[in-house]
Structure formats: structure tokens, C-alpha cells
Chain A
Amino acid sequence: MSQVNEQTIGHVHRDDEATRIGMWLFLFTELLLFGGLFIAYAVYRYLHPHEFMMAGKELNSFLGALNTVILLTSSLTMALSIAAIQRNKKNLSIFLQVLTLILALGFLINKSFEWSIKFSHGIYPGSETLLAKGSGEILFYGLYYTMTGLHAIHVVIGMIIIGVMTLFTIKGTINSGNNVRLESAGLYWHLVDLIWIFLFPLFYLIL
């Protein structure tokens, strides 16, 4: 895909297999990025099991579960959009990608509700209410905001990527014969989903 090839040779060097390898390696680094946080969670949960349980009970597991459903559904629509473009159903693929974006937005809105409820109760890093609590609960919320915050950033990045892919699909540069970029975006979106699948039980369910 070098500039050279594009300009002087007239055919674009394309290696879908290489793109897939590169994408999987990148996803691996993303898992490790969150891995460091999961280690911190494991260490502090081991040190403060009771306080982690207390703090976890204060989270709204209904909103958490709702978000899990939203995100899993968005992964489905994303996967379907790839299947659609491979079957040359351009409009269906675009519709499914837009649906994915809407679901992702729904996830973020729901998340912001959850955060702002906690904020209104005075529970945020460095707040007086939180500092008055035990260190296990401080650490729980420190990790909660860091991990769900980093995850939310990934949701936003994923939305930008899918948005660009939608434009490419409308333009036709992503089509039934050339869709490895959409596939890679899908892989990224599944990773975002996968990380949430672990965050949800760790913060909301294991009590």
C-alpha cells in the first residue's frame, strides 16, 4: 500500500492476511493495556475483599446489565454488517453500521447517567464523601472510574472508526471484494465488547 506502488505501478499492493495479523497483534496490546488494570484490581480485591463487596453493592446493576445488553447487541449488528457487505448488500450493511453507532451512543448515554448519579452522591475520586470511607472503597472507586473511563474512551474511538468505515462503505471503497478494513473495525469493536464483559461482573456482580 505504499505511495510508490500506488503511483508508479498502478496496482495497489494489498495483503488482507497481513492486515488481519497486524490487527490481531494490536488487539493483543489492547488486552495487555487493560491487563495492567486487571492486575491492580486483583491485588486490591485480595487485600480488601469486604470493602470491595460493600462498594460494589452501591453500583446500579440494572444500568450495568442494560449496558451489557446494548453492547452485545451492537457487536451483533457489527458482525452482521460485515456479513452483509460480503454478500454485496451495501445498503443493509450501512444500515447495520449506523445501528451499531446508535447502540454505542446509547451505551455512552447510559454510562454518563450512571456516573452523574454517583457524582451527585459525592462519590468521585478525591471527593470528601469518598475520602471519608475505608481505603478499600476508595480503591474500588478509583479502579471503577479508571477502568470504565478507559473503556468509554475505547467506545468513542471505536465509534469514530466505525463512522469512517460507514463513509467508506457509502463511497464504495469498502465493498464485497475489499472489506478487510470493515472486518478489522469489527474486531476492534468486539474487543471493546469483550473488555466490558469482564468489567461488568467484576464491578457489578461479584459481591
Chain B
Amino acid sequence: MSSDSSHNVSYLDYKGRWKGKITSWIFSTDHKKIGVLYLFSMLILFSIGVLFGFLMRLELIAPGKTIMEPQMYNSIFTLHGIIMIFMFIIPGLPAIFGNFFLPLLIGAKDVAFPRLNLLSWWLFMFGSLLAILSVFLPGGPVDTGWTFYVPYSVRSTTNVFPALIAAFILGFSSILTGLNFITTIHRMRVQGMTWFRMPLFVWSLYATSWIQILATPIIGITLLLVVMERAFNIGIFDPSLGGDPVLFQHLFWIYSHPAVYVMIIPAMGIISEIIPVFARRTIFGYKFIAFSSIAIALMGSLVWAHHMFTVGMSPTAMIIFSVLTFLVAIPSAIKVFNWVATLYKGSIQLDPPMLYALGFIFLFSIGGFTGLIQGALSVNIHIHDTSFIVAHFHYVMFGGTGFGIFAALHYWFPKMFAKSYNMKTAKFSFWTLFFGFNVLYFPMFVMGWLGMPRRYYDYLPEYHIYHFISTIGSWIVVIALVAMFANFIVALRKKEKFTEENPWGGETLEWKTSTPPPLENFDIEPVVDSHPYEYKMNEPDQDLLKEEGTK
């Protein structure tokens, strides 16, 4: 049915109607190329975010002024938050690995709406550039914190306006990706790919996409209302005109709390892919893991006000939100127990993807448990707005989602680029990152508990030692990240091609096509007749051992 030219052509070589090197990428509607575009644009943005975080920590190494003025510091923590949250952590896994692997995992040729997919990358780039541009426009970089709380975001004379519009556009891009994925999962599964034969990463993308669709419009309208408030004084959030700033916080967190699950659920999906492959065992409790993603998506939409326990809500509302917050821990714990049960009696191989997956479980558990501490009403009053919360969400977002992204990158990199990276460097960067991460963020738990407020430019001398240790940790993290990225860059520049179809011995469909995948993903359309993780329990696979030996 198709001409020979499209068969066996690697997606990396195919140019289509665009002959130029760059145009064949940025105008391509191939989901794999779009995934790679997202990967590189997001890693650049991530590096900028890391740089801001690094400068912030450097400023805090000693009390008083170290390298920058307070106004600069306010802008830097705001930009760190906006970039990391809106441009890396929220869209990261769905946009990069969802785009690249969702069609492969369900045996499809592309997503349901390829042109819409390209549009969402363009919107993403436009929004990101606008946010970056707002740094250099007259007025100065935005200094409201990534949460844009009113009334300050209405009064601040910095470039809040472009930052708000940028966040709105990024939300639009996120919605389009979400509706594209839902439609793809409903309509494009290959023959035999029933709902319960879908890989767990696909389930997690499905849950995530629903949250993106249901929650993102709310932040869209909320940010637009702040724009209106700034431009026309409509009064909705302005107490002097009768408006209520707390309403802003409600509307903001109705989106932004579920968004936390947009960040973490796909990472959990990645971990569910990696653990069975490297433990050589069928995943334990497939349906429970699949449905717990949906359960997190549903319950996570009903807990937003736990960000607002100190604004003066009614005690009844606070108790309800606190109880619901505790309940979300159940589906998360179901996942963790199922992963650990999968590892039990498995023949575990500690390759880099697996190391990151195990690192995820460890760090996410710490982040999750400290989340429960904050969910308790009385304790929350004590640690509200301290660096305890900063440590908590970095353990969940960086230790969780960040490690999930790195796990996925190490797992799928050979398939995506047909290049192999150096295992030793990868393991070195993992252990350095894991160590540096804990040195960087664990002291924040301690000083937060002792009362160190978050976002402060200066602090009392008794917090000095913790800030000092934390800043040392930030240097170790930067070294680890540089080592990791250098490893990938060296791998990409290698001449020799890596063409092994299935280096890790995975059972899902992306390993059953050539490396790199051909233009339309599969030369022969696959037929699925079993579950995604059918490993012979506890029996070493002879073919696989041979493969390992030759590696």
C-alpha cells in the first residue's frame, strides 16, 4: 500500500517536503521528531532553570548580601519557578516521551492529530520565548513568585503581563497535547491492544491527559482575570473594589494542585515500565497500578485547598480537605508497594534506567511522607511557608518527576537516537546526583522545621549551617547534571550507529521495531496477543543472556 521510500527509512533521515536541515525538524508532523524537538527545547529551559536555582543557592550561602540585590533575588526565584514548573516539569514527560512513545507503545503510526501536535510545540515555544523575553523588557523581570498571587501580582510594576500571557499560552499547548493523547488512545490502538494490554505508561498518560483537559482551562481564565484586573481594574480580585484575593487562590489551586499530578503520574508510568524490564518479572498488580493513576487523577482534583490552610477558611472545609489529602496517599502507596512487590525475587540488573527508577522510589517516598505531615492541619500551621515545603516539593518534583524524566531518558535514549551512551559515566552521574540531591534538599527540611521561611533573601545566623550545606549540595547536583548531559552529547556525536532492537530486553512494542524507528514506526503492523510484561518468572531468558554477553 505504500511506496518503498517510506519503508525502512529511519525517522531521523526522512525529510519529507522540507529539504533543509532545520525546517525538516521544526515543520515535521512526525510525533517522534516533535518529541525530540520538545526534548531539546525543554533541556535548554531546564538548564536555565538550574542556573537560576544555582544562583539563588549561592546568594543564600551566607547571611546578608552575597552576590545580588533583594529585587534580583525575587525575580530569580520567580523565574526558576515559572521555568521549572510551566516549561519543564508539567509538560516534560507527556510532551517529550508521551509524544515519542505513546504511538509506538500502542502500535500506531502517529498520534490522532499530527498537525495539532506540531501546533502545540509551536505554542510551547512561543510561550517560553515570551516568558524569557519578559526578563529583558523594560520594567524588569517578574517578581511575584510563580504562583502570581494577588494583590501583589496586580500591583507589581515588573513585567507580570507578558509572564501571565506566556503561562496562558503554555496552558493552551498543554490542553492540545492532552486532547490529542486521549483521542489517540481511544482510536489508534493496534489490533489486539485491549485496554488492559496497554503498557502502564499509556495508562498514566491517559489519566494525565484528562487532568490537563479538565484543570488547565481554570488556570487559563484565572490568569486572564489577573490580566483584566491589571489592565481595566475590574475589581474581581481587588479588595478595595469588593473583590476577594482568596478567590484567586482557590481558582489558582483548583488547577495547580491537579497539575502536581500531571507532573508525577507520567513519571510513575515510566517507573512501571522500567521496573519489570530490569527485574525480569511481570509487573505485580497491573490493574491496581492502572486504576490508581485514575484514582489519583480523580482524588487529586478535590484537595486543592490544602495549600490554603492559613487563609482563614471554615474549620469544616479545612478538615474535609485535610482528610481528602490523606486519602490521595493511598493510590500513591499502592503503586509503591506494587513496584516493590515486582522487585521481590526478581533478577535485578542495576543499569542506569533502573538506578534512576529505584532512586525515584526512595526520594518520592520521602517526598510523599512529608506531604502527609503537611496535610495534617495543626502541623501545617507550624511549617506553612517554610523551607520544609520547599524541600517537600523538590523531593516530589525533582526527586520524583525529575528522576523519572532522567530514567526515561536513559531507558529510551538508544531507541530514540540509535546511539549508545557510556554506562560508567551514567552510573557515576546517577550516584553523584543522588548524593548531591540529598545534601541540597534534606537540610531544608531541618531548617524549615526550625522556622526558616521560604523565599526569604536573608536569614538569622542560626540557620547559616543548613544553608551552607544546602549550597554545597547544589554544586554537587550541577556537577552530576553536567556529567549526565555531557555523556549524552558525546553519545550523540558518536559516529557508530547503535542498531540493536532491544538492548534492555523489554517486552513492549517499542522494542519490536528497528532502532531508530522507521518513519511510520513499524514496517509490519504488529498484532498484540498478550499482556505487556510477560516475562518468564524467575527463569533467566537464555537468548537474553546471550545478548547481554555481547553488549
Given the known inter-chain contacts A29-B213, A33-B221, please indicate yes or no for A2 contacting B179, CB distance below 8 A. Answer: no
Please pick, from A15, A138, A139, the residue contacting B112 in the complex, using a CB distance under 8 A. Answer: A15
A-B contact count (CB 8 A): 145
Q: Which stretch of B59-67, B231-239, B493-501 is in the interface?
A: B231-239
- Chain B residues within 8 Å of A17, by CB: 187
Residue-wise interface mask of A (1-30) relative to B, using a CB-CB cutoff of 8 A (1 in contact, 0 not): 111110111110101011001100110111
10 cross-chain pairs, A with B, having the tightest CB-CB distances, nearest first: A135-B242, A142-B234, A36-B221, A32-B217, A126-B233, A125-B232, A33-B217, A25-B179, A8-B6, A2-B114
Indicate if B222 sits at the interface (CB-CB under 8 A).
yes
Complex CA–CA separation, A135 to B239 (angstroms): 9
Residue-wise interface mask of B (1-39) relative to A, using a CB-CB cutoff of 8 A (1 in contact, 0 not): 111011000000010110000000000111000000000
Interface pair A139/B236, CB less than 8 Å apart? yes
Indicate if B382 sits at the interface (CB-CB under 8 A).
no
Complex CA–CA separation, A26 to B220 (angstroms): 14
Interface pair A2/B112, CB less than 8 Å apart? no
Closest beta carbon of chain B to A43's beta carbon, Å: 6
Indicate if B228 sits at the interface (CB-CB under 8 A).
yes
Interface pair B235/A139, CB less than 8 Å apart? yes
Given the known inter-chain contacts A9-B3, A29-B216, A135-B242, please indicate yes or no for A146 contacting B235, CB distance below 8 A. Answer: no
Given the known inter-chain contacts A139-B236, A139-B241, please indicate yes or no for A146 contacting B228, CB distance below 8 A. Answer: yes
Residue-wise interface mask of B (226-269) relative to A, using a CB-CB cutoff of 8 A (1 in contact, 0 not): 00100011111000011110010001000000000000000000
- Chain A residues within 8 Å of B115, by CB: 1-2
Closest beta carbon of chain A to B40's beta carbon, Å: 21
- Chain B contributes a number of interface residues (CB within 8 A of A) equal to 51
Closest beta carbon of chain B to A17's beta carbon, Å: 6
Closest beta carbon of chain B to A91's beta carbon, Å: 30
Closest beta carbon of chain A to B430's beta carbon, Å: 37
Interface pair B217/A29, CB less than 8 Å apart? yes
Interface pair B114/A1, CB less than 8 Å apart? yes
Closest beta carbon of chain A to B205's beta carbon, Å: 14
**B interface with A by C-beta (< 8 Å):** 1-3, 5-6, 14, 16-17, 28-30, 109-110, 112-116, 175, 178-180, 182-183, 186-188, 213-214, 216-218, 220-222, 224-225, 228, 232-236, 241-244, 247, 251, 519-520
- Chain B residues within 8 Å of A35, by CB: 217-218, 221
Interface pair B235/A22, CB less than 8 Å apart? no
Indicate if A99 sits at the interface (CB-CB under 8 A).
no
Interface pair B182/A21, CB less than 8 Å apart? yes
Closest beta carbon of chain A to B464's beta carbon, Å: 44
Interface residues of A in 17-64 (CB under 8 A from B): 17-18, 21-22, 25-26, 28-30, 32-37, 39-40, 43-44, 48
Interface pair B17/A146, CB less than 8 Å apart? no
Interface residues of A in 42-97 (CB under 8 A from B): 43-44, 48
Closest beta carbon of chain A to B208's beta carbon, Å: 14
10 A-B pairs besides A3-B30, A43-B247, A125-B233 with CB distance below 8 A are A3-B28, A8-B5, A21-B186, A25-B182, A35-B218, A36-B218, A37-B221, A40-B236, A126-B233, A143-B234
Main secondary structure of the interface of A (DSSP, over half): helix
Residue of B nearest to A126 (CB): B233
Complex CA–CA separation, A74 to B452 (angstroms): 61
Closest beta carbon of chain A to B521's beta carbon, Å: 10
16 contacts between A and B (CB under 8 A): A1-B113, A3-B114, A4-B16, A8-B5, A18-B113, A18-B187, A22-B183, A26-B175, A28-B213, A29-B216, A32-B214, A33-B220, A125-B232, A142-B243, A145-B234, A146-B236
Complex CA–CA separation, A139 to B112 (angstroms): 43
Indicate if A136 sits at the interface (CB-CB under 8 A).
yes
Please pick, from A2, A40, A143, the residue contacting B110 in the complex, using a CB distance under 8 A. Answer: A2
Given the known inter-chain contacts A8-B2, A40-B247, please indicate yes or no for A29 contacting B175, CB distance below 8 A. Answer: yes
- Chain B residues within 8 Å of A141, by CB: 234
Interface pair A135/B16, CB less than 8 Å apart? no
Closest beta carbon of chain B to A60's beta carbon, Å: 21
- Chain B residues within 8 Å of A25, by CB: 178-179, 182-183, 213
Residue of A nearest to B232 (CB): A125
Closest beta carbon of chain B to A59's beta carbon, Å: 17
Given the known inter-chain contacts A32-B214, A32-B217, please indicate yes or no for A22 contacting B233, CB distance below 8 A. Answer: no
- Looking at B112, B116, B251, the one whose CB has the most chain A CB atoms below 10 A away is B112
Complex CA–CA separation, A144 to B14 (angstroms): 53
Interface pair B183/A36, CB less than 8 Å apart? no
Complex CA–CA separation, A8 to B229 (angstroms): 51
Residue-wise interface mask of A (113-140) relative to B, using a CB-CB cutoff of 8 A (1 in contact, 0 not): 0000000000011100001001110110
Given the known inter-chain contacts A8-B6, A145-B234, please indicate yes or no for A29 contacting B179, CB distance below 8 A. Answer: yes
Closest beta carbon of chain A to B207's beta carbon, Å: 15
Residue of A nearest to B221 (CB): A36
- Chain B residues within 8 Å of A37, by CB: 221, 225
Complex CA–CA separation, A141 to B242 (angstroms): 12
Complex CA–CA separation, A24 to B17 (angstroms): 32
Interface pair A4/B6, CB less than 8 Å apart? yes
- Chain B residues within 8 Å of A124, by CB: 232
Interface pair A139/B221, CB less than 8 Å apart? no
Complex CA–CA separation, A133 to B113 (angstroms): 50
